[in-house]
A and B are shown apart, each in its own frame.
Chain A
Amino acid sequence: MAKITYLHPNGTATVVDVQAPNTVMRGAKLHNIDGIEAQCGGSAQCGTCHVYVDEDSTVPLPPMDSVEDDVLYGTACPRRESSRLSCQLPVSEEIDGLVVRLPEAQS
């Protein structure tokens, strides 16, 4: 179980508990958090679950592979240093306290 904070573009935050073996993407879907589309269901095809990991975050995340890296070139909002696909971020106790920012648009 991990507590994950989703920051909306309007400045509000939604904090939810997400269980393993879900991903940060699925956590948002399960709680109907607007701003994550995940049209491909989590297979790193579509780039519509793009998030920006909060700059101050010290939570350890898995490194990105070349497919995730490539998919991030096509996101609707600009890619930044902190960009990740939330479907590629598995939930575990290690990421408890993660804060991600939702982009203005996903598609």
Chain B
Amino acid sequence: MAPRGVVVVGAGQGGLDTVAALRAKGYGGPVTLVGEEPVLPYQRPPLSKGFLTGAVARGELTLRTESFFEAQDIALVSGDRAQHIEVERQRVRLASGGTLGYDKLVLATGSRPRTLPVPGMDLSGVLTLRTLADAEALRTLLDGPPRQVVVLGAGFVGLELASTARVLGHDVTVVEAQRRVLARALTPQMSQWLAERHAQQGVRLLLGQEVTALHGTAAGEVAVVRLRDGRRLPADLVVVGVGALPNTQLAAEAGLLVGDGVVVDRWLRTDDRSVYAIGDCARFPSTRLGRHIRLESVQNASDQARCVAAAICGESAPYTAVPWFWSEQYALRLQMAGLTAGHDETVTVGDPDGARFSVLCFREGRLTGVESMGRPADHGIARRLLSSDTGPSPAETRAPGFDLKSYAMKPSSTVPAPA
């Protein structure tokens, strides 16, 4: 029987990288990529930054051209939605009515913005940011006279948007329920440092504050953000960046195991051996943390895509990549490697006043994560150290003049040669 091939649902970074990696590895069967948006797959990271300021043009967002899909014999189904998976019959039903049979199915359905359960979220001028269409709508609003912008949430999307809106000359207030910015992602040191930079740029940060309602004008335009403490913030644009939820509905309806994400094993397989899940929507066992986690990052989507493509091509290796992430706010370059959650000790190296420093995180004396500000060499070296589970001790890093670059260059260093 002819192979039915691989169907990938979701044409974001993970979905696209899966089909590209399948062909690069020589997979010869049919390959189909199904994407809901009616456009070629594109990069998301610039949507909250360069795309809004105009530094990155629309054309630069496109990850691969039409001719790539033709040349690689990949069927790209755009502007259509996978509606139902029939796991027993190994096929996917599309919203347009068609069906796609598969030998292997990869779910790369991503995540969607969370909203807040408060009145007024449906007012005009209240936006979330996930897709190119969202970013285009936002760009139109930011590309005009100064507005009173209120950003809900001091996560990566919220802070990147705050910096972009500020650079474009708008009046910006950020409201965050936690007591510090990026509380889940960053150490208190880096969090504090970043908050000070935003304040210096004129962004008003209201921490430990909850929104209770949004009020609008008679015409239905947002006008006021009301806080728990009774404060009323004038606003003519509200951007909601309060985290993301994994798109698991398709998997759940197909009877696959779903928690906060589609649950997969170390090989990224769901409880149906023909179905994999990757990227933002997948909940996978982290060998580093000893529990299941979900990561929303380009790196995770991209590395999991390659891992799954390799598995489908018969090379079976569990997923063990070191997580890493970056963010750009103003001219600041923030990079994170490894996992900083659960650290019991930190050491700061470099020069925080000069915006060039790194926070090294240790757990029980072992390096587990590194946050770098304006120190790309530290970041890259940290990724290598973390992937080989080596690295300096806290005591070594406290020695005067210590820096990761010299540590990694030392002939006696424990940094192994790459495999």
Contact = CB atoms under 8 A, between A and B. Distances in A.
A98 B407 CA distance: 34
A49 B224 CA distance: 46
A105 B419 contact: yes
B418 A34 contact: no
A38 to B, nearest CB: 9
A72 B405 CA distance: 11
B156 to A, nearest CB: 14
Interface residue tally on A, bucketed by range: 20 to 34
- A contact face: mostly helix, strand, loop, or mixed: loop
B160 interface: no
Interface string B43-84: 101100000000000000001110110011000000000000
Contact of A45 (B25, B68, B302, B335): B335
A46 B20 CA distance: 19
A41 B43 contact: yes
Contacts of B299: 39, 46
Nearest to B375: A70
Give the bracket for the number of chain B residues in contact with chain A.
35 or more
A76 B384 contact: yes
B24 A32 contact: yes
Nearest to A103: B418
B175 interface: no
A17 to B, nearest CB: 12
Contacts of A39: 298-299, 302-303
Nearest to A35: B24
B93 interface: no
Q: Which of A30, A70, A71, A74 has the most CB of B within 10 A?
A: A74
A29 B64 contact: yes
Contacts of B72: 32
A76 B326 contact: no
B255 to A, nearest CB: 33
B326 A74 contact: no
A11 B353 CA distance: 48
Interface in A42-70: 43-47, 67, 70
A61 to B, nearest CB: 20
B321 interface: yes
Interface in B337-389: 375-377, 379-384
Instruction: Determine the main DSSP class of B at the interface with A.
Output: helix
B405 A73 contact: yes
B195 to A, nearest CB: 22
Nearest to B409: A73
Looking at A46, A67, A75, A104, the one whose CB has the most chain B CB atoms below 10 A away is A46
Given A32-B24, A45-B326, A73 B298 contact: no
Contact of B68 (A30, A41, A76, A107): A30
B68 A32 contact: yes
A71 B380 contact: yes
A75 B380 contact: yes
A40 interface: yes
A64 B417 CA distance: 25
- Name the residue in B24, B64, B380 with the highest tally of chain A Cβ atoms < 10 Å from its Cβ: B380
B112 interface: no
A30 B64 contact: yes
Interface string B2-42: 00000000000000000010011100000000000000000
A73 B418 contact: no
Contacts of A29: 63-64
Interface in B255-272: none
Contacts of A2: none
Interface of A: 29-34, 37, 39-41, 43-47, 67, 70-78, 104-105, 107
28 contacts: A30-B65, A30-B67, A30-B68, A32-B24, A39-B303, A40-B45, A41-B43, A41-B45, A41-B46, A41-B298, A43-B45, A43-B326, A43-B328, A44-B376, A46-B324, A46-B326, A67-B376, A70-B377, A70-B380, A71-B376, A71-B377, A73-B380, A74-B382, A74-B383, A76-B418, A77-B418, A105-B419, A107-B321
Interface of B: 20, 23-25, 43, 45-46, 63-65, 67-68, 71-72, 298-299, 302-303, 321, 324, 326, 328, 333, 335, 375-377, 379-384, 405, 408, 417-419
| Cβ-closest 4 pairs across A and B | A74-B380, A34-B24, A70-B377, A70-B376
Given A40-B45, A45-B376, A107-B303, 13 more contacts: A32-B20, A34-B24, A34-B25, A39-B299, A40-B326, A41-B43, A41-B46, A47-B380, A71-B380, A73-B405, A74-B379, A77-B418, A78-B418
